[in-house]
Amino acid sequence: MAAESAESIVPAVNEPAVEIDLDAAEWYLNRETTWLEFNRRVLHEAEDDRNPLLERVKFLAILSSNMDEFFMKRIGGLKQQIGAGVHELSVDGQTPQEQMSACHQMVREIKLEQRRAGKRLTALMRRDGIKISLYPELSPEQQTSVRQFYIDNIYPLISPMVMDPAHPFPFISNLSLNLLVSIKRPDGKGTALARIKVPTGGGIHRFIQIDEQTHYVPLENVIAHNLDLLFPGVEIQRWDLFRVTRNAITERSEEQANDLLELIESELRDRKFAPIVRLEVSNGMPAVHRGMLAAELGLDEDNDVFDVHGLIQKRDLFEMADIDRPDLRHPPHHPVDNAKIFGEPNIFHLIRSQGPILLQHPYESFATTVERFVREAARDPKVLAIKMTLYRTAEKSRIVDYLMEAAHIGKLVMVAVELKARFDESANIRWANQMEQNGIHVSYGVVGLKTHSKVVFVLRRDYDGLRRYAHLGTGNYHSGTARIYSDLGMLTCDPVIGEDLTELFNFLTTGFVPNRDYKKLLPAPKHLKKGLLARIRREIDLHSDETPGHIQFKMNALEDKDITRALYEASLAGVKVDLIVRDTCRLRPGIPGLSENVNVISIVGRVLEHARIFYFRNNGEEEYLIGSADCMRRNLESRVEIVVPIDAPDLKKSLREILNIQLDDHRAAWDMQSDGSYTQRKPGRRRNKGSSQDKMLALAEKRLKAATRLGKKIKPGRKERKMI
């Protein structure tokens, strides 16, 4: 339903009010298309000339990576539903086929915009001395040098595969870049086709550097213009590029598995051979070859095949974005120490004496806060046990190293590893095996539920008895993403939270009695959704002209229908609702008579917004919560999540500051319209042109300087060398 037509629900003067059916499909936007709409905002960052050039190139690569994941997960899921004959309508009233058709249309529109942006960025890069040339454009001397590099370093890795009755159509791996070469048969009996896989990855770069520092040629173009090495004496008629995307949805039934580890390994093997959901071909590929590929791969040529102008697999532009040209990037931002923690010799004494501490990443260092907490827990002789949940972590994880160190010296260490973290399954299996070999008790969570919570739980023998310390966060224990994701965490020794975490880890290790008694925590799947809905209803009940209600949520996605419906009810009751939603949002704000009290913004900036904050005015007794869960059905009903209340006044003040700054962002914020589109805010003359993310970093630095003035000394190297 278009936004302007929504005015029809507003009654005319002297007419009775029209009752709104809050279950009607027209009030809910589609999950898939709203996520694609988010990628339009990502693409805009690549087009926005306020961003430095290489930052714009990075956003173009991010868009390409996002679209790959979209096809693997979302289109793959829709195709499975269609194949299974599912006709059930989505919350917004569409069949799986209708959703997929709408997605394909939006994808083609985005691809066209991406092509235009790519051409502009290529020209701007060339203007600034960064050239991506084709092989024929190189000088004879450069061609000779590149050819020799290719012969020495890449040529031995290539295995061309001819397709004929003796050589059937080869297996095409997921997201691989391939050459389709048409050759004339040496016996003169027609032509044959050969497939050549471009061997990128494993230390081989997509772009080969030429003699000049910032002059490159794509690897596939080098291979294509040196085919005489692969087919000596054979006439090459033409070559084209193609790439396939396979379905990533290959789950099997956990209930029927004897060993969850073996089941996940089987799923990974299945994924390698999963059905193909997309074929990308270079523009100009002959129709006969295009049709042959579609037929061999089992695809609908009209809907599943996408022509690509220019560079295929633009995700490899991350290589270009990493070029050493600081003049073409944002000024480097260094995470700083948390003002409360730096300079203090014992983190446990600090938490016990000062109370809970709020951490803000990437503005504050992950290494000197979270990693330090785990390191000290591993080495402190008074710490008896460490328990944690692990969803994703870095390839080289200091946190896991510290846990193994703790196990080696005899401490009890238990880790609940989520083996089914999408696209991190192999890494988590590897970590699980390594931890078990080093004496750590590894649990794979609860059958049927993903463990998505972010908790480190430490039991320490203090001077007055056993005390429970914890870190609870919104982001993964991943040092890499901690520099590019905006997340929150809390260090605490609150005894009630400690009791709740004891119950949580007993649940994770046994899978029994999910209806445990929690006094503060709101864990999913049994308590969180009920708790959020109850608080929304409480806000409605407490709302009045004298004490107006106010709800503010900051999250990655709003997809759950029940939460969306409850927020509509709050708006109808007069409660003001502010939502900061990064990508998917089913709710339609600004509809007269329904959601005119709702404001939805999305922030897209140099770091990925990933924190979750839930705020309720509660008749003046303000309530703040942070946690790992988005308002998505899967998070609320099919995962082990943790949302924790923030009680300390100084932490509440910090969360209020974050929400106010982001809601007032006029550089990186977009206002959602009632039809699901977005309008980017403009700074205006009197406003600070910096984004909320710039302000958050400035505030972290200001807090550290203020603490320094109070007498603390900054030790050498207190700023991280790694940049945001």
Q: Which residues are catalytic?
A: 452
Other beta carbons within 10 Å of 303: 12
Helix (H) / strand (E) element for 499: namely helix 495-510
10 Å CB burial of residue 71 (0-12, 13-18, 19+) is: buried
Structure tokens that stand for 348 in this block: 């446990």
Cis peptide bond upstream of 331, omega within 30: no
Work out whether strand 177-184 and strand 161-163 pair parallel, antiparallel, or are unpaired: unpaired
DSSP state of 673: P
Sign for the pseudo-dihedral over CA of 60, 48, 111, 121: negative
Which residues make Cβ contacts (< 8 Å) with residue 56, sequence separation at least 6? 45, 46, 47, 48, 49, 121
Structure tokens that stand for 137 in this block: 């454009």
Q: Residue 418: which of 438, 398, 387, 447 has the closest Cα?
A: 447
C-alpha 274/C-alpha 266 separation (Å) is 12
Rg (C-alpha) for the chain, rounded Å, is 28
Which residues make Cβ contacts (< 8 Å) with residue 641, sequence separation at least 6? 452, 453, 523, 524, 525, 528, 627, 628, 629, 635
Tokens 């092989």 belong to residue = 135
Number of H helices, E strands in the chain: 20, 27
- In this structure, what are the phi and psi dihedrals at residue 29, rounded to the nearest 5 degrees? -80, 160
Angle at 594 between CA 590 and CA 595, to 5 degrees: 35
Tell me the three state secondary structure of residue 132: strand
C-alpha 322/C-alpha 336 separation (Å) is 23
Distances (CA, A) of 604 to 63, 87, 162: 12, 35, 46
Could you list the beta-strand ranges (E) of 617-660. 623-627, 639-646
How does DSSP assign 427-487, residue by residue?
HHHHHHHHHHHTT-EEE---TT-EE---EEEEEEEETTEEEEEEEEESS-B-TTGGGTEEE
